[in-house]
Amino acid sequence: MWGCSPRASRARALGVSVPFVTRFAPSPTGLLHRGHAYSALLAYEAAQAAGGTFLLRIEDIDATRARPEFEAAIFEDLAWLGITWPTPVRRQSEHLEDYEAALVRLAAEGLVYRCFRTRKEVAQAMASAPHGAMDTFRSAPLPAGEEAERLAGGEAFAWRLSLDAAQARLGGFEDLSFLEEGQGPNGESGLIRARPELGGDVVLARKDVGVAYHLAVVLDDALQGVTHVIRGCDLFEAAHVQRLLQALLGLPTPVYRHHRLLAGPDGKRYAKRDRAETLQALRAAGLTPEQLRQEMGL
């Protein structure tokens, strides 16, 4: 049985009503599969049990891969599962100004820097680190003159979160923690000390894309009043850097419930590229929502 946060426990002890808001936030870059259905149903049923709210959010910041037909399929698949949600649905592509404002704030405080290295160059820098000590990327801003020259030349860059600056701003990461009511990939649960240094200087935005995943999801959850994040344990590590962003931006920290990942008969986790396992294909083959629930142990 799921627990609740210490704040929620205290509030309930005082007879104060505590909202329960969770969300399912797929990207419309392909068709949903069994794994998506499992995550969506867990979140929906948790909201129903708590008398709370289940939100659907469309994370469509990847304009090169997001497609309106995939978004329409998401709505159709979730409705087939018996899931309902409030409207209008928040689409990230319609709120780029929210992310830009947060990025401007972080930049003004010296917490992000422009990184002009390509993905290949970042990988090479990590591989060439002495004794293999560098397993995550960390760097620093370029000298002002060199940065201005590269900007004038139109070079592409990414905005990276500076762990060094963040650590200085907060006086260390020792006081950062989040509550895990589910289970991480290695059995992690309970009050977890956040270790954002494991992710290195993560990308928060690119020159051609106004925002990247970590910044967008942290802001969306705060703006939508999400109290519980229910998602697969493959995103457990993301909670560490997201907890840091919440601290830097003064945002509330939701309770996390990471769940197991579903896998096929071959032992491989379900993925969008596996078209034979899409919910559309299963529905066309005659599978019912009830049968799917039983198959997934729900």
Residues with catalytic annotation?
272
DSSP-derived pairing of the beta strands 53-58 and 177-180: unpaired
Q: At 181, which amino acid appears?
A: E
Reported as type and span, the H/E element at residue 135 is: none
Q: At 277, which amino acid appears?
A: E
- The structure tokens 């709370």 sit at 52
Reported as type and span, the H/E element at residue 53 is: strand 53-58
Query: 238-249 and 96-108 helices cross at what angle (nearest 10)?
Result: 70
Short-list 252, 260, 259, 191, CA closest to 227: 252
Q: How many CB atoms lie within 10 A of CB 82?
A: 11
Q: At 167, which amino acid appears?
A: Q
3-state SS, residue 191: strand
